[in-house]
Amino acid sequence: MPLTFAKTGEPASIKKVGGKEETRQFLEKLGFVTGAAVTVVSAAGGNLIVNIKDSRIAIGKDMANRIMV
């Protein structure tokens, strides 16, 4: 399921990162790699704030839909 459907506060494991090559590389540099643990901190209007690799990152709905957990 896409990251946008993950429950707030529950850790999830990234299964796949989709999208164009440049989009995947951008997300990988932020730490969104297969097998990484990610936790949704809050969601507002489809935009998410997530914890990944001891960092909080805000991502838009379009990006979050490309991350499968």
- Residue 48 corresponds to which tokens in the numbers above? 């998410």
Print pLDDT tens along the chain (69 aa). 999 999 999 999 999 999 999 999 999 999 999 999 999 999 998 899 999 999 999 999 999 999 999
According to CATH, the topology of domain 3-68 is SH3 type barrels. (2.30.30)
pLDDT at 22: 94
Residue 57: how many CB atoms within 10 A of its CB?
Answer: 17
pLDDT at position 45: 86
Kindly list the domain boundaries of the chain, sorted by start residue. Answer: 3-68
Instruction: Return d(Cα 48, Cα 43) in angstroms, integer.
Output: 5
